[in-house]
Amino acid sequence: MEGIRPLLVEAYFSSLQGGDFAVEIDLKLIRNTLVVKISGELDLLVSEKLRREIDSKIQSQQVKNLVLNLEKVSFIDSSGLGVIIGRYKRMNAGNGRMYIVGASPAVEKILIFSGINKLVPLYRSEQDIINI
């Protein structure tokens, strides 16, 4: 998010173990927007833990916008898609917005085939969202 000096309220980093790989998540709250950067595989073994961490921040920090940065996600399965759909429903219920950025071609293909792109707009970078 270059070019803008956002008010960084909180940054949180966690490492979750799943599959054969560790999944790392980085949560940053900028004003009322939660930016979640995920690295690794978003599969059944980490989806529930990821959901709990995101929901905790949404609830405790009164988040209005959610940005999922999937730039470093190498794989996503149906449980990972479920986390995305559930967070979309939660944000939508609170009149918030949700965006997905940086999905690799393989992950983007899954998001399109599943229809998630019809619910949550896909962008190439966080900068693209700033330019909306």
- Rounded distance, CA 116 to CA 11, Å? 27
CATH number of 125's domain: 3.30.750.24
Residue 57 falls within a domain, yes or no?
Answer: yes
> Is residue 3 domain-resident?
no
pLDDT band per the 50, 70, 90 thresholds, residue 132? low
Assign 3-class secondary structure to 72-116: EEEEECHHHHHHHHHHHHHHHHCCCEEEEECCCHHHHHHHHHHCH
DSSP label at residue 124: S
Angle between helices 78-93 and 44-61 (to 10 degrees): 10
Residue 122 within a domain: yes
Strand bridging mode 33-42 / 122-123: unpaired
What are the pLDDT digits (tens) for 93-121?
A: 999 999 999 999 999 999 999 999 999 99
Kindly state whether residue 2 falls inside one of the protein's structural domains: no
The domain of 53 spans: 8-130
Supply the pTM of this predicted model. 0.83
Residue 81 lies in a domain: yes
In a domain, 15, yes or no: yes
Return d(Cα 80, Cα 47) in angstroms, integer.
6
Where is pLDDT greater, at 50 or 19? 50
| CA–CA separation, 112 and 117 (whole Å) | 5
Answer yes or no: is 32 within a domain. yes
Q: Looking at the 3D structure of the chain, how many domains does it have?
A: 1
Q: For residue range 51-105, what is the model confidence (pLDDT) as tens digits?
A: 999 999 999 998 999 999 999 999 999 999 999 999 999 999 999 999 999 999 9
Residues 6+ apart with CB under 8 A from 53: 12, 14, 25, 27
